[in-house]
Every structure is written in C-alpha cells, then in structure tokens.
C-alpha cells in the first residue's frame, strides 16, 4: 500500500489557547464579542418593547423601567432599537463577509497554486478592481441598484473581495512551498487533494484572523451607508439609521446619537481586539 504523505492541517501552536488567554486585549475582545453575540441572539427576549412601534405621546422621554435608555423623537424605545440593531448589524456583516470569502477564497487558491497565466489573469483583474476606491465604488453600485440593505450587501461583497483574494494568494504561495506540500506531490497525491486537504486547511487560521478583523470594518461601513440613506431604511432598527434620524437633535438631545454611536464603537473595538489577539497568539 502506497504510503501517503498526508499532512493534516497545521495544528495551532500547542500553547495557543494559553497564549490567547494571557493576552489582556484578547480576553476583553472575547468577552465583548460573546456579550454582543448573546444580545443579538436573544434580542426578541431582551428588548423591552417593539423597536419600531411609535408612541408620539412618549417621545423624547428620560430613561424608565419600560424604556431603559429613554425614547426617541417618535416615542420608540432606544434600548430596544439598539438591541435589535445589534442583531441586524451582525447579520449583515456576516452575510457580506461570507459572500466576500466565497469569491476571494477560490480565486486566491487558484491563483496562488496554479500560477502562470491563470495567476496573472486573476491578479490583473484583481488589480483593476483594487484600482478604484472601494467605498466610492460601493457607493456608485448601491446608487445604481437602489437604496436597500440587499443592494448594499451585494455592492460591498462585489467590491471588497479583491483585497482578500490577493491576501489569500500570498498565503497560498507561502504554504505550497512547505515541505509537507512537496512531500504530498512526490507521493502522487492529486492536485485537488493537495489544494483542499493541505493548502486550504493550513490557510484557514490566517483567513479566520483576517475575517475577524474585517467584521468591525464591515459593521462600520454598513452603518455609514445607512447613515447617508443607502443602506437600511427607516424605520428599521439599525445603528446607522438611528444616527441619521437623530441628527437634528444633536444639540438638544445628544443621547440619541451617543447611544448608537457607542454601540458601533464598542462592537468594532471588540472584533478588532479579538482579531489582534488571535493574530498575536498565532505568530508567537
């Protein structure tokens, strides 16, 4: 029986978890991300009221037992809208990230492993996509398709995949020169097996780190597009929409902008801290 030079996924360093748990930034990031994900999952049970229900008689009220953070200009519970906004922001970010990875991972793998004309063609196309400012191009695509969350997600995924594809190609180029890949080739393993069983599995760790760092950027971008009216539309309980709706009250009722702004800041910081912690733990 032919001996199979099968090198399974490079194990994370044996002390990876120990190193991660000794990193204060990573601990803070893990706790915050866990809290944010819990809030998103349990939003229907945590939110005190309906986030889109209007009560004009209760507009701009102070915090109370029913409305924990008070009410906005339409009498809607701010706390409920922020809680439901957590769910929508995470959901949108995960969808955008998933679509980006579905495009960039196959192209990055193909370009990095195949090389030659295929690599050149894919990278030149990637360079063309990266030549345009991503945010401006996403604005143009969203403006053409129409203002909605669905179109925004499509626009962001179609524009932002190029940078990921180039990074994944670079990772693949490094991995395919490793001894275990050369050994698998010498043993007669098929290219398909080498790509998926050796190269891709070993590339997952850095890809996960990159994806974790990207979540905060995507959430911030979605909130920004919604703020200018090209993302989620009122009365959707989304952080960017909340910021947009409260602009006229920035001097008289600043808390209407402070609360959703703080939610965005904490969420972006949480994923950045977690991503940096994972990166440091893997590099040590």
Q: Which 3-state string (H, E, C) describes 81-94?
A: HHHHHHHHHHHHHH
Domains in the chain, number:
1
Computed over every residue of the chain, the mean pLDDT equals 84
Cβ neighbours of residue 245 under 8 Å, at least 6 residues apart?
72, 73, 234, 256
126: number of Cβ within 10 Å: 21
Confidence band, pLDDT 50/70/90 cuts, at residue 258: very high
Q: Which domain holds residue 20?
A: 16-44+78-283
CA 81-86-88 angle, 5° bins = 90
In a domain, 267, yes or no: yes
More confident position, 126 or 180: 126
What is the pLDDT at residue 36?
Answer: 94
Contact in structure between 159 and 129 (CB atoms under 8 Å): yes
Alpha carbons 219 and 117: distance in angstroms, whole number:
36
In a domain, 258, yes or no: yes
Question: CATH number of the domain that 236 lies in?
Answer: 1.10.3720.10
Q: What is the pLDDT of residues 3-16, one digit of tens each?
A: 433 333 344 455 66
pLDDT at 224 over 50: yes
Residue-by-residue DSSP string for 17-59: HHHHHT-HHHHHHHHHHHHHHHHHHTHHHH-SS-TT---GGGT
Contact in structure between 72 and 81 (CB atoms under 8 Å): yes
In a domain, 61, yes or no: no
The per-residue b/e assignment along 73-110, b for 16 or more CB within 10 angstroms, e otherwise, is ebbbbbbbbbbbbbbbbbebbebbbebbbebbbebbbb
Contact in structure between 277 and 20 (CB atoms under 8 Å): yes
Average pLDDT in the 241-266 region?
90
Q: Give the distance from CA 93 to its chain's centroid.
A: 5
Residue bearing tokens 């309906």: 50
In a domain, 102, yes or no: yes
In a domain, 274, yes or no: yes
pLDDT at 284 over 60: no
pLDDT at 201 over 70: yes
In a domain, 100, yes or no: yes
**Stated pTM of the model:** 0.84
Distances (CA, A) of 49 to 84, 177, 231, 241, 277: 11, 57, 24, 18, 36
Least confident of 34-38, 110-114, 166-170, 202-206: 202-206
**Three-class secondary structure of residue 71 per DSSP:** strand
In a domain, 254, yes or no: yes
Alpha carbons 143 and 148: distance in angstroms, whole number:
10
In a domain, 7, yes or no: no
Confidence band, pLDDT 50/70/90 cuts, at residue 198: confident
Distances (CA, A) of 242 to 108, 171, 211, 247, 279: 38, 40, 26, 9, 33
Q: What is the pLDDT of residues 43-86, one digit of tens each?
A: 999 988 888 888 888 888 888 888 888 888 888 999 999 999 99
């Amino acid at each position: 029986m032919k001996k199979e030079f099968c090198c399974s996924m490079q194990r994370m360093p044996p002390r990876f978890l120990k190193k991660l748990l000794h990193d204060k930034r990573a601990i803070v990031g893990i706790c915050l991300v866990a809290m944010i994900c819990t809030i998103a999952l349990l939003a229907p049970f945590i939110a005190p009221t309906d986030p889109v229900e209007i009560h004009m008689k209760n507009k701009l009220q102070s915090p109370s037992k029913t409305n924990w953070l008070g009410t906005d200009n339409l009498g809607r519970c701010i706390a409920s809208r922020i809680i439901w906004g957590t769910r929508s922001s995470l959901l949108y970010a995960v969808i955008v990230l998933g679509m980006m990875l579905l495009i960039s991972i196959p192209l990055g793998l193909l370009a990095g492993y195949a090389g030659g004309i295929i690599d050149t063609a894919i990278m030149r196309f990637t360079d063309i996509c990266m030549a345009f400012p991503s945010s401006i191009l996403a604005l143009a695509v969203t403006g053409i398709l129409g203002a909605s969350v669905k179109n925004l997600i499509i626009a962001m995924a179609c524009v932002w995949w190029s940078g990921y594809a180039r990074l994944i190609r670079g990772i693949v180029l490094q991995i395919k020169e490793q001894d275990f890949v050369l050994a698998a080739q010498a043993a007669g393993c098929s290219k398909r097996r080498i790509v998926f069983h050796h190269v891709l599995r070993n590339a997952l760790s850095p890809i996960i780190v990159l994806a974790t760092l990207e979540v905060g950027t995507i959430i911030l971008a979605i909130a920004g597009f919604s703020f200018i009216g090209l993302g989620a539309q009122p009365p959707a309980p989304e952080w960017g929409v909340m910021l947009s709706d409260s602009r006229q009250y920035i001097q008289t009722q600043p808390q209407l902008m402070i609360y959703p702004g703080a939610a965005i800041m904490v969420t972006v910081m949480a994923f950045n801290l977690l991503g940096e912690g994972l990166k440091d733990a893997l590099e040590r």
